[in-house]
């Protein structure tokens, strides 16, 4: 019993280990991230009631779900600060891919909606955007459940696997997340093409966020698979990448989106709904149609005026109501008169 207590207490040494301060630094950053994320969640709830533009409001539930995913990432950092054991291993392997898949699927759903908005089309409904985000991330959840279930039910467990096997399984389990990242990158790039400039700023935020995330993932996967000869540095590498990527989500995407949302909520009228400029060819086409319609109206007005043989308009005559008016009777043939 005493040995079990000493062993379990040793798993938490990194929370206060001054010789290896990476644990203290990362838990501090994660704790600050949790507090900031909760404040941003409350801010989103407050501003959701003040947004009047439907196209902008439709993405707010998905962004709220994105913030919940970021909150989970900061909480997951503590599972990597605690020593690798039979309790923390399933949590790491399951939640790491699921939470990142949720975040990138929310970004993908937002970018897909922006592709329509920058071209002047109607936005998806909020339920459609939310279902896209949840549905896309659902596959990673199924993959993670299958993997953790197989590992926990068969003879070989996480603690009995070699570091090489752990690294390979961890990276292979995240292949779908890498696919989501690449897909979101290209969809966000497609938001740069379109006449509506005001929606492109949202696409630029998603593009930069995903680009920095790709760089972070390439670095930590390379260090984990090739550049890390000492196994004791496995957890710091993954945890640093986890906390860094979560802060990238907040600083490069959520906080700028919140600032845009706050500015638009203070407008007297919806900022985004009617701000889409019309392309030049459509403006010239509409101007020609307006000139043609005015010409037709003037021609019709001229035709309504009756002209005499000398080109002067005839004068209207007033009818005397006391004067009797006789309607001539049509002439009929003798046969028709006999019938009548």
Number of domains, the chain: 1
Say how many C-beta atoms besides its own lie within 10 A of residue 46's C-beta: 11
Answer whether residue 261 is part of any domain.
Answer: yes
Answer whether residue 311 is part of any domain.
Answer: no
Answer whether residue 220 is part of any domain.
Answer: yes
Mean pLDDT of the chain: 79
DSSP-based three-state secondary structure for 140: helix
CA distance linking residue 86 with residue 101, whole number of Å? 24
Answer whether residue 27 is part of any domain.
Answer: yes
Answer whether residue 323 is part of any domain.
Answer: no
Answer whether residue 225 is part of any domain.
Answer: yes
The enclosing domain of 70 has a CATH number of 1.20.1070.10
pLDDT value for 19: 52
Which residue carries 């985004």 as its tokens? 272
Asked if 77 and 14 count as a contact pair (C-beta separation under 8 A), the reply is no
Q: Which segment, 7-11, 249-253, 287-291, is predicted with the most confidence on average?
A: 249-253
Give me the domain span that covers residue 221.
21-267
Question: Taking Cα atoms as reference points, which of 99, 104, 28, 113 lies closest to residue 68?
Answer: 99
CA distance linking residue 230 with residue 232, whole number of Å? 6
> Rounded mean pLDDT of 248-270?
84
Answer whether residue 145 is part of any domain.
Answer: yes
pLDDT tens sequence across 147-184: 888 887 775 677 677 878 888 889 999 999 999 999 99
pLDDT tens sequence across 85-128: 878 888 889 999 999 999 999 999 999 999 999 988 888 999 99
């Amino acid at each position: 019993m005493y040995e079990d207590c000493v062993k379990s207490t040793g798993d938490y040494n990194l929370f206060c280990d001054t010789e290896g301060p990476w644990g203290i630094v990362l838990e501090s950053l994660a704790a600050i991230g949790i507090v900031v994320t909760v404040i941003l969640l409350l801010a989103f709830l407050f501003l959701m009631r003040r947004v009047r533009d439907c196209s902008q409001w439709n993405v707010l539930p998905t962004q709220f779900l994105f913030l919940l995913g970021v909150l989970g990432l900061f909480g997951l950092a503590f599972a990597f600060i605690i020593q690798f054991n039979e309790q923390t291993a399933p949590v790491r392997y399951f939640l790491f891919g699921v939470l990142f898949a949720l975040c990138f699927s929310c970004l993908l759903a937002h970018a897909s909606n922006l592709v329509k908005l920058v071209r002047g089309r109607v936005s998806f409904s909020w339920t459609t955007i939310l279902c896209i985000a949840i549905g896309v991330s659902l596959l990673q959840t199924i993959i993670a459940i299958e993997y953790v279930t197989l590992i926990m039910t068969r003879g070989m467990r996480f603690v009995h696997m070699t570091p090489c096997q752990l690294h390979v399984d961890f990276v292979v389990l995240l292949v779908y997340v890498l696919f989501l990242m690449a897909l979101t990158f290209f969809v966000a790039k497609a938001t740069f093409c379109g006449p509506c400039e005001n929606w492109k700023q949202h696409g630029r935020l998603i593009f930069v966020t995903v680009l920095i995330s790709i760089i972070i993932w390439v670095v930590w996967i390379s260090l984990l698979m090739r550049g890390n000869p000492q196994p004791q540095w496995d957890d710091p590498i993954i945890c640093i990448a986890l906390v860094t990527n979560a802060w990238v989500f907040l600083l490069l995407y959520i906080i700028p989106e919140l600032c845009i949302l706050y500015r638009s909520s203070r407008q007297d009228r919806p900022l985004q709904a009617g701000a889409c400029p019309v392309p030049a060819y459509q403006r010239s086409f509409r101007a020609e149609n307006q000139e043609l319609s005015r010409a037709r109206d003037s021609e019709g007005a001229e035709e309504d005026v009756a002209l005499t043989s000398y080109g002067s308009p005839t004068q209207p005559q007033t009818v005397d109501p006391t004067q009797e008016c006789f309607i001539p009777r049509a002439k009929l043939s003798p046969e028709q008169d006999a019938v009548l």
